A and B are shown apart, each in its own frame.
Chain A
């Protein structure tokens, strides 16, 4: 019993929960046609974090997905972050993909990053609790998911800001 209709209804419900219509297709800068390609994070591009592993994952509906595993240079391996970047076909496609991801979260809804003072991406959702242990945001056509994966809970804000900065710099050099 695979209830596709139920999944579609659920997806629509998730869109409503996240007020999709209020931000879908919008960018802070540039046009909705911006399409960045072949963006990679270099091993030394994020301060304080050491790149342990980078892997190109199986494409998701023909969108290129990269995963990076970082460990803090200062925590003896206890602070660990997973960064996933999905290269979507358009700004709107990135926003639809964001819905595809958050509908797989068990939390019914996540807070907007701005409510915790984190202003990154074109649209960004943080996590529940005192600090953001995970963040998902879209900047142009790139969907970014950053998750805490270490035994020592770590705010991902600074890391996510750095990633957003890298994407933005890439856009300035290669406007897509």
Chain B
């Protein structure tokens, strides 16, 4: 895949050159879907003294990319011919472990001139990212280089949060849960304002968000639903999912939920109502389409409108299994249906909460990163 380090910095090719010792300085990314059943080639350039030689080269180790079988390399005037020699990765295990971040080491060796012993040549370290398929918008593969090529600084998180996941729903679920539970984010109980978008909700301030993840700075730990939906969408799509941030609304009453960063169930500081709510949604953000909401947890028991509360991450949860049902709904209510578990059981709650669509300025819910 075409990748870059962050908004400001691209990655030059070749990724590894003499002198680099850190795996993070020589990254590469592969998508499982696009590599399945296809040859994967790496290219390496060699230099030598004396100037003309023929040598066998191989590399041990390699982790997920596997060892490299011996291959004859011709060197003329001190440089390999062709300059960059292709090596097929015949022993890679891309795909078997799902999404992955792995630092690998290749111990390169050679033998030449009739010798039978393998001599050490060079040790190279690489950070390898494995995703399900090529990232979807806002991430782009073309043109390259481009600020919207996948960022390794974001892959560093996405591939850990979704490590081992083998399908889109499991990956998006894991990412949603990580955002909700593990990052120290707290809901903006004072106003419900977005902190990590700019340009009239047009852009995702990913550089700032990465600063928050790295050292607690950036734009801080306070978020709203737009932020959560955007973070979920951006990181999930980075590993190959196809979500978009989309709204439901407008102005509806809430049953108690556990907001991101909250100790228990309750209403936001501004009261038991949302003017709108935004989540990471699949498909066409209709009633039957599942969604992922990192902003809150709902009550999963058979009466979501009263205590006690049994918390559930809304991950891959259908927006409404029976949108036209007369209100109030009967108890016990056992459908795993999102809006019914978010809203009060009446016209002002469930009856007023409907799919609306992405904000017009949001690039169809896939906010470009900056």
* A contact set with B: CB distance below 8 Å: 1-4, 6-7, 9-10, 13-14, 52, 57-61, 65, 67, 69, 77, 80, 82, 100, 103-108, 110, 127-129, 132-134, 145, 147-151
* B contact set with A: CB distance below 8 Å: 188-195, 198-203, 216-217, 219-222, 224-226, 249-251, 268-271, 273-277, 284-286, 355-360, 364, 370
Contact A13–B193 (Cβ < 8 Å):
no
Query: In the complex, what distance in Å separates the CA atom of A7 from the CA atom of B358?
Result: 10
Query: In the complex, what distance in Å separates the CA atom of A157 from the CA atom of B357?
Result: 35
Closest to A151 in B: B221
Query: In the complex, what distance in Å separates the CA atom of A69 from the CA atom of B205?
Result: 13
Known contacts being A6-B250, A147-B222, is A128 close to B189, with CB within 8 Å?
A: yes
Closest to B286 in A: A1
Contact A134–B271 (Cβ < 8 Å):
no
Contact B195–A147 (Cβ < 8 Å):
yes
Contact B199–A14 (Cβ < 8 Å):
no
In terms of DSSP, what is the predominant structure of the interface of chain B? loop
Query: In the complex, what distance in Å separates the CA atom of A30 from the CA atom of B225?
Result: 39
Query: In the complex, what distance in Å separates the CA atom of A65 from the CA atom of B370?
Result: 15
Number of A-B contacts (CB under 8 A): 128
Contact of B276 among A10, A59, A67 (CB under 8 A): A10
Contact B285–A128 (Cβ < 8 Å):
no
Contact of A2 among B193, B200, B358 (CB under 8 A): B358
The smallest beta-carbon distance between A115 and chain B, in angstroms, is 14
27 contacts between A and B (CB under 8 A): A1-B286, A4-B360, A10-B251, A14-B275, A58-B199, A59-B199, A65-B199, A69-B219, A77-B216, A77-B217, A82-B195, A106-B224, A106-B275, A107-B192, A107-B270, A107-B271, A108-B273, A110-B270, A128-B189, A128-B270, A134-B188, A148-B190, A148-B222, A149-B219, A149-B221, A150-B220, A151-B216
Query: In the complex, what distance in Å separates the CA atom of A3 from the CA atom of B267?
Result: 28
A2 neighbours in B (Cβ, 8 Å): 357-358, 360, 364
A104 neighbours in B (Cβ, 8 Å): 193-194, 201, 226, 359
B268 neighbours in A (Cβ, 8 Å): 106-107
Known contacts being A58-B198, A105-B193, is A149 close to B357, with CB within 8 Å?
A: no
B217 neighbours in A (Cβ, 8 Å): 52, 77, 80
